[in-house]
């Protein structure tokens, strides 16, 4: 069996590539060539039946992921089902199962069965959670147990996995040498950091990267190379640990591609607004334009309760600069486990950011939707306005028409659109 990357490198256009081409309005040959050069990935595990296959990367529309999953404080699959439906209703392109509480295999199976879109996971969460339930310290984590869990999760059907391979003994020393406010805010990164300190051993995901590649290749799982040292405060952004890790990830992405394994790079995190564009451009330059997956980014630290807005600001700038995949940020970020309303608002904010980025990148078809809703506004065609809006149901609820049922209650008889139409009638 060949991976998507191997097929593309051999000049073969797979069924998945054709579906991505149809979705993006591009030629199948274009998608094939982008995949062949590691600039686009198609997350699709051979064991997972996805109804909505998507591509992520250069020249494609910016995609959005939603983080779901249980915790040891709240383990309710019925709630997770509502959150999944909220994410799908808001238009997410992907979900990640970040469960750490309850029966993790069952939770993963639940998401894989219920989700019509790609599903990601962070395998080390499962191992760490199992150790916690056994009342054993994290340093008891064995290399064999970690890779066995990765194999199990890939076999189960996850389409991409976040693996924090860029943390190694050298980059760990860089972290010791800086004065960060928040030394490590990545959960997976902190688990490995703690394990490396306690055992005095190298990060197994880095040391045995070839073993990881063998597993990923077997199931055609995309490696999402995680940024364990991403900044968790804007004062910590763009420092030695972060850049050292990025250099390692760039090298590992090339190694993955040489094996025929698809890879993308994860990015920050909390970043000052003026640094977002240069950071995206740096990632693209260092990684030969590998797909870039960013959390937010968040350009301020004070937006607790409104971090979906902060994330939309940062995400729009990142997407316009070339970021390919946005991880949504909900109003519950930094506060607790999100509910379904938080999920919906987070996805809508990220979809808005993604679209703004697509307009700036001139992604094919991005401007068409804006033109359609503008024409509907000119014609005071409320049903078309509702249909083209990012959140049609909200627009329907918020639409309050004036007594003549054409203008809205903001301007009524002084509607600028109606008055200007009398002076400058439409030429269409």
**pLDDT, tens digit, 9 for 90 and up, residues 270-288:** 999 999 999 999 999 999 9
pLDDT tens profile 82-119 = 999 999 999 999 999 999 999 999 999 999 999 999 99
Tokens 């790079």 belong to residue: 265
The β-bridge partners of 298 are 270
Q: What is the CB-side half-sphere exposure of residue 135 using CA atoms within 13 A? A: 0
pTM here?
0.95
Q: What is the pLDDT of residue 72?
A: 84
Residue 27 CA to residue 21 CA, distance in Å, equals 6
Residue 214 CA to residue 195 CA, distance in Å, equals 24
Q: What share of the chain is helix, strand, coil (3-state, %, to 5)?
A: 55, 10, 40
Q: What is the pLDDT of residue 428?
A: 60
Tokens found for residue 175: 């972290």
Q: Residue 192's pLDDT band (boundaries 50, 70, 90)?
A: very high
In the chain, what percentage of residues exceed pLDDT 70? 99
Residue 16 CA to residue 19 CA, distance in Å, equals 5
Residue 254 CA to residue 223 CA, distance in Å, equals 12
The β-bridge partners of 97 are 68, 121
Residue 11 CA to residue 124 CA, distance in Å, equals 35
Report CA-CA distances (Å) from 394 to 89, 139, 343, 367. 12, 49, 16, 22
**What burial class does residue 286 get, using C-beta atoms within 10 Å of its C-beta: 0-12 exposed, 13-18 middle, 19+ buried?**
middle
The β-bridge partners of 310 are none
E-strand ranges in 69-147 read 94-97, 118-121
| Nearest by Cα to 205 from 128, 123, 132 | 123
Average pLDDT, the chain: 95
Q: Residue 403's pLDDT band (boundaries 50, 70, 90)?
A: confident
Q: What is the pLDDT of residue 427?
A: 61
pLDDT tens profile 30-43 = 999 999 999 999 99
Lowest mean pLDDT among 13-27, 56-70, 384-398: 384-398
Residue 426 CA to residue 428 CA, distance in Å, equals 5
DSSP string computed for 411-424: TGGG-HHHHHHHHS
In the chain, what percentage of residues exceed pLDDT 90? 87
**Is the pLDDT reported for residue 408 higher than 90?**
no
DSSP state of 178: S
Other C-beta atoms closer than 10 Å to the C-beta of 392 total 13
């Amino acid at each position: 069996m060949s991976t998507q990357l191997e097929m593309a490198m051999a000049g073969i256009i797979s069924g998945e590539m054709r579906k991505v081409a149809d979705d993006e309005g591009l030629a199948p040959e274009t998608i094939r060539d982008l995949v062949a050069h590691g600039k686009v990935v198609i997350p699709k595990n051979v064991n997972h039946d996805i109804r909505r296959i998507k591509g992520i990367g250069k020249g494609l529309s910016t995609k959005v992921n939603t983080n779901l999953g249980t915790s040891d404080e709240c383990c309710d699959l019925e709630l997770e089902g509502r959150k999944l439906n909220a994410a799908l209703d808001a238009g997410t392109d992907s979900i990640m199962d970040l469960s750490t509480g309850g029966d993790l295999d069952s939770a993963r199976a639940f998401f894989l069965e219920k989700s019509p879109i790609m599903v990601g996971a962070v395998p080390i969460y499962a191992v760490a959670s199992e150790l916690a339930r056994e009342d054993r310290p994290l340093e008891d984590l064995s290399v064999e147990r970690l890779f066995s869990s990765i194999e199990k999760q890939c076999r189960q059907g996850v389409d991409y996995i976040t693996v924090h391979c860029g943390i190694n003994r050298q980059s760990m020393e860089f972290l010791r040498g800086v004065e960060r406010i928040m030394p490590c805010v990545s959960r997976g990164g902190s688990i490995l950091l703690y394990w490396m300190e306690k055992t005095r051993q190298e990060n197994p995901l880095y040391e045995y990267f070839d073993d990881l590649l063998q597993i990923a290749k077997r199931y055609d799982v995309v490696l999402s190379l995680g940024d364990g040292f991403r900044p968790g405060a804007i004062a910590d952004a763009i420092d030695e640990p972060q850049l050292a890790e990025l250099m390692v990830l760039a090298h590992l992405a090339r190694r993955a591609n040489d094996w025929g394994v698809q890879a993308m790079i994860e990015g920050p995190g909390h970043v000052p607004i003026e640094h977002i564009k240069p950071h995206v451009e740096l990632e693209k330059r260092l990684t030969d334009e590998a797909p870039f997956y960013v959390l937010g980014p968040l350009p301020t630290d004070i937006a607790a309760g409104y971090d979906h807005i902060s994330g939309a600001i940062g995400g729009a700038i990142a997407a316009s600069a070339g970021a390919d995949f946005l991880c949504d940020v909900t109003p519950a970020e930094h506060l607790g486990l999100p509910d379904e309303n938080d999920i919906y608002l987070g996805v809508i904010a990220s979809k808005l950011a993604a679209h703004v980025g697509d307009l700036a990148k001139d992604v094919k078809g991005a401007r068409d939707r804006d033109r359609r809703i503008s024409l509907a506004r000119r014609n005071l065609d409320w049903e078309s306005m509702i249909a083209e809006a990012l959140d049609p149901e909200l627009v329907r609820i918020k639409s309050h028409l004036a007594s003549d049922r054409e203008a809205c209650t903001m301007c009524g008889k002084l509607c600028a659109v109606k008055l200007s139409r009398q002076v400058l009638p439409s030429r269409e």
